[in-house]
C-alpha cells in the first residue's frame, strides 16, 4: 500500500461525518436562497400580470354598458308611407331624422332657441335614425303608432354618465355643456335615461361613432382567418414534422432544413406580412384584406412553430416503442402511425394550439396585407374584406374619442379571454392524454 492509501484510511467515518456536517449549513443556506429567488421571481411575474389585468379590466368593464335614452316616437304614417301601399322604397327612404328630432322637441318643450335645440338633438346618437328605420322595415305594424323606443345616447353623454367627464371643470374645457347637463338630469329624473347591457359591442361592426361600434366584424374576421390558418398550418406542420423526424435521411441537407426552420420560427412576423403583400397580393392577385390571404400569411408564420413542437414531441417517444413495433414486423409507416404518432400527439396538439394562440394575437403581418381598412360590414365569406380583433384594437386605440378608450380595453379583454380559453384547452388536452396510458 502506498502513502496516499494510508492517509485515506486514517480518516475515520466519524471525521468524514463531521466534515459533511460542516458543509451542510452552507448548502442549506444556498438552497434557501435559491428558493427565495425563485419565489420572488414568481411573485414579481404574478404581480405584473395582476397589474396588467386590473388596469385593462378597470378601463374596459364600462364598455359592456351603454347609456340609452327613451324616446317617445310618433311613427307618422304621412311621413313614412304616404301612399298607404307599404311600398318598401318609400318606407326605407322616409325621413326618420325628423321623427327623432320631433320626439326630442316634445321631450324638452322649453328648449326654444335654435342653439338649445341643437344641443338637444346631440343628446342621442346619430344611429338612432337608422335604428328607427330598421324597426319600421322589420315590423310594418308600427306605422301610425306612437311608441317608446330606447335609442343609444351620444358617446359624449355616455362618457358623462359613466363619470369620465368631470362636471366640475369649466364649461369650455368640457365636451358636454352646462345646458346639456341640465337636460340630462331632467331625463334621469323622468327615468328616461338608463345604462343597459351593450349588445351592440358584440353584434355590430366598426363605426366612426363609438356608441355604434362593435367587435362583431372583427370577431368574425378573426374566426375566418384562424380557420384558414388552422386548415393549412396544422396538417402541413404535423406531416412535415413526422417526415423530418422519422423518414428523412440524416445528412447535410436535412441539417440545413432544420437550421432554416428554427430560424424562421424567430423571424419577426411583419416579414411574413411583406411576403404576403408581394407574393399573394401583387403576384397572385388574391383579394386584399381577405381572411384567405390573412390565413395564408399566418399559416406560414405558424408552420415553423408547429414543426418544431411536433419534432420535439416525436423525439420524446421512448425508442423501446419503436423497437417493439419494428421487432414484430411493422413497416416504417405502420410503426410511425400506429405507435409513435399516437404517443406524440398530445405534445403535437399542445404545441400547435400554442402556435395558433400566438397567431390569433398577430397584428403586424395583417396590417401589411390590408386588413386594416375601415370595414363596417360583418364579413360573410373568406374573400370578403375584413379585419381581425387585434387590428381592430389597434385602430380604436388610434381614435380620439374617449369612448373608444374603454371599448379598446373591452376588446382586449375579449381577446385575452379567448387566448386564456385556448391555452386552457391545450392544458386540458395534455392532461387528459397523458393520463390515459
Partner 1 sequence: MSAPDSNIGVTFPRDHRETVGQIEHPNFKIRCRDLNVFYGENQAIFDVSLDIGSNEVIAMIGPSGCGKSTLIRCFNRMNDTINGCRVDGSIEMDGEDVNSNEIDVVLLRARVGMVFQKPNPFPKSIYENVAYGPRIHGLTNGKEELDSAVESSLLRAGLWDEVADRLDEPGTGLSGGQQQRLCIARAISINPEVILMDEPCSALDPIATARIEELIDELKRNYSIAIVTHSMQQAARVSQRTAYFHLGYLIEVGETEKIFTNPSHQLTEDYITGRFG
Determine, following the binding rule CB under 8 A, whether residue 328 of this chain makes contact with partner 1: yes
Residue 250 C-beta: closest distance to partner 1, Å: 7
**b (16+ CB within 10 A) / e for 354-376:** bbbbebbbbbbbbbbbbbbeebe
**Choices 39-47, 200-208, 320-328, 391-399; region in contact with partner 1 by CB under 8 A:** 320-328
Residues contacting 380, CB < 8 A, separation 6+: none
In the numeric block, which cell numbers belong to residue 221?
Answer: 374576421
Determine, following the binding rule CB under 8 A, whether residue 184 of this chain makes contact with partner 1: no
Residue 249 C-beta: closest distance to partner 1, Å: 10
242 or 393: CB nearest partner 1? 242
188 or 333: CB nearest partner 1? 333
Residue 334 C-beta: closest distance to partner 1, Å: 6
Which residues partner with 72 through β-bridges?
A: 148
Query: How far is the C-alpha of 391 from the C-alpha of 222, rounded, in Å?
Result: 10
82 or 318: CB nearest partner 1? 318
Residue 324 C-beta: closest distance to partner 1, Å: 4
| 171 neighbors 178 (Cβ within 8 angstroms) | yes
Determine, following the binding rule CB under 8 A, whether residue 331 of this chain makes contact with partner 1: yes
Binder among 31, 323, 377, 434 for partner 1 (CB under 8 A): 323
Residue 361 C-beta: closest distance to partner 1, Å: 36
User: DSSP code of 340?
Assistant: I
Residue 311 C-beta: closest distance to partner 1, Å: 17
User: DSSP code of 279?
Assistant: I
Nearest to 293 by CA among 388, 392, 396, 214: 388
Determine, following the binding rule CB under 8 A, whether residue 191 of this chain makes contact with partner 1: no
Give the CA count within 13 Å in the CB-facing half-sphere of 157: 29
321 or 397: CB nearest partner 1? 321
Residues contacting 375, CB < 8 A, separation 6+: 205, 206, 217, 221, 289, 385, 386, 387
Among residue numbers 264 through 303, which ones bind partner 1 (CB under 8 A)? none
- Number of residues located near partner 1, criterion CB under 8 A: 18
Determine, following the binding rule CB under 8 A, whether residue 397 of this chain makes contact with partner 1: no
| 176 neighbors 47 (Cβ within 8 angstroms) | no
> 385 to each of 208, 220, 225, 270, 429, how far by Cα in Å?
18, 11, 11, 20, 34
Query: How far is the C-alpha of 75 from the C-alpha of 126, rounded, in Å?
Result: 18
236 or 321: CB nearest partner 1? 321
The three state secondary structure string of 136-173 is HHHCHHHCCCEEEEEEEECHHHHHHHCCCCCCCCCHHH
Binder among 30, 254, 334, 417 for partner 1 (CB under 8 A): 334
Concatenated DSSP letters of 211-248: GG--SHHHHHHHHHHHHHHHHHHHHHHHHHHHIIIIIS
109 or 327: CB nearest partner 1? 327
Determine, following the binding rule CB under 8 A, whether residue 248 of this chain makes contact with partner 1: no
Determine, following the binding rule CB under 8 A, whether residue 109 of this chain makes contact with partner 1: no
Binder among 7, 329, 398, 400 for partner 1 (CB under 8 A): 329
**Choices 152-160, 223-231, 234-242, 323-331; region in contact with partner 1 by CB under 8 A:** 323-331
Determine, following the binding rule CB under 8 A, whether residue 435 of this chain makes contact with partner 1: no
Determine, following the binding rule CB under 8 A, whether residue 316 of this chain makes contact with partner 1: no
Determine, following the binding rule CB under 8 A, whether residue 49 of this chain makes contact with partner 1: no
Q: Which long-range contacts (CB under 8 A, 24 or more apart) does 333-340 make?
A: 336/242, 336/246, 336/247, 340/246, 340/314
Determine, following the binding rule CB under 8 A, whether residue 432 of this chain makes contact with partner 1: no
223 or 326: CB nearest partner 1? 326
Element holding 68 (H helix, E strand) = strand 65-74
**Choices 106-114, 271-279, 335-343, 384-392; region in contact with partner 1 by CB under 8 A:** 335-343
| 314 neighbors 283 (Cβ within 8 angstroms) | no
Binder among 223, 321, 345, 419 for partner 1 (CB under 8 A): 321
Binder among 244, 271, 343, 416 for partner 1 (CB under 8 A): 343
Determine, following the binding rule CB under 8 A, whether residue 16 of this chain makes contact with partner 1: no
Residue 320 C-beta: closest distance to partner 1, Å: 4
Binding site for partner 1 (CB under 8 A): 250, 320-331, 334, 338-339, 343, 437
Amino acid at each position: 500500500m502506498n502513502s496516499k492509501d494510508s492517509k485515506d484510511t486514517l480518516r475515520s467515518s466519524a471525521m468524514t461525518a463531521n466534515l459533511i456536517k460542516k458543509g451542510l449549513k452552507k448548502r442549506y443556506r444556498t438552497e434557501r436562497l435559491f428558493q427565495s429567488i425563485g419565489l420572488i421571481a414568481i411573485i414579481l411575474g404574478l404581480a405584473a400580470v395582476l397589474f396588467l389585468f386590473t388596469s385593462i379590466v378597470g378601463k374596459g368593464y364600462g364598455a359592456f354598458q351603454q347609456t340609452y335614452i327613451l324616446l317617445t316616437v310618433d311613427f307618422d304614417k304621412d311621413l313614412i308611407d304616404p301612399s298607404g301601399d307599404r311600398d318598401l322604397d318609400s318606407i326605407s327612404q322616409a325621413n326618420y331624422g325628423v321623427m327623432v328630432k320631433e320626439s326630442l322637441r316634445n321631450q324638452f318643450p322649453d328648449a326654444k332657441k335654435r342653439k338649445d335645440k341643437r344641443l338637444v338633438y346631440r343628446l342621442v346618437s346619430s344611429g338612432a335614425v337608422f335604428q328607427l328605420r330598421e324597426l319600421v322595415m322589420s315590423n310594418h305594424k308600427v306605422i301610425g303608432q306612437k311608441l317608446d323606443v330606447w335609442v343609444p345616447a351620444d358617446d359624449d353623454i355616455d362618457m358623462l354618465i359613466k363619470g369620465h367627464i368631470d362636471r366640475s371643470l369649466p364649461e369650455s374645457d368640457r365636451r358636454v355643456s352646462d345646458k346639456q347637463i341640465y337636460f340630462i338630469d331632467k331625463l334621469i329624473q323622468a327615468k328616461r335615461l338608463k345604462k343597459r347591457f351593450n349588445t351592440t359591442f358584440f353584434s355590430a361592426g366598426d363605426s366612426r361613432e363609438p356608441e355604434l361600434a362593435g367587435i362583431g366584424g372583427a370577431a368574425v374576421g378573426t374566426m375566418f382567418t384562424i380557420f384558414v390558418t388552422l386548415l393549412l398550418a396544422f396538417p402541413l406542420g404535423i406531416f412535415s414534422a413526422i417526415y423530418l423526424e422519422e423518414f428523412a435521411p440524416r445528412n447535410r441537407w436535412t441539417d440545413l432544413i432544420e437550421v432554416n426552420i428554427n430560424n424562421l420560427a424567430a423571424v419577426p412576423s411583419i416579414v411574413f406580412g411583406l411576403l404576403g403583400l408581394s407574393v399573394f397580393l401583387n403576384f397572385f392577385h388574391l383579394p386584399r384584406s381577405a381572411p384567405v390571404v390573412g390565413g395564408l400569411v399566418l399559416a406560414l408564420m405558424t408552420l415553423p412553430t408547429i414543426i418544431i413542437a411536433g419534432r420535439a414531441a416525436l423525439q420524446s417517444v421512448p425508442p423501446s416503442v419503436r423497437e417493439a413495433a419494428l421487432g414484430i414486423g411493422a413497416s416504417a409507416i405502420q410503426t410511425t402511425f400506429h405507435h409513435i404518432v399516437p404517443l406524440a400527439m398530445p405534445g403535437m396538439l399542445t404545441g400547435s394550439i400554442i402556435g395558433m394562440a400566438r397567431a390569433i394575437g398577430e397584428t403586424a403581418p395583417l396590417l401589411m396585407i390590408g386588413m386594416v381598412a375601415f370595414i363596417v360590414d360583418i364579413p360573410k365569406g373568406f374573400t370578403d374584406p375584413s379585419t381581425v380583433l387585434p387590428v381592430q384594437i389597434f385602430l380604436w386605440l388610434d381614435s380620439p374619442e374617449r369612448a373608444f378608450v374603454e371599448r379598446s380595453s373591452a376588446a382586449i379583454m375579449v381577446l385575452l379571454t379567448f387566448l386564456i380559453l385556448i391555452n386552457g384547452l391545450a392544458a386540458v388536452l395534455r392532461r387528459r392524454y397523458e393520463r390515459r396510458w
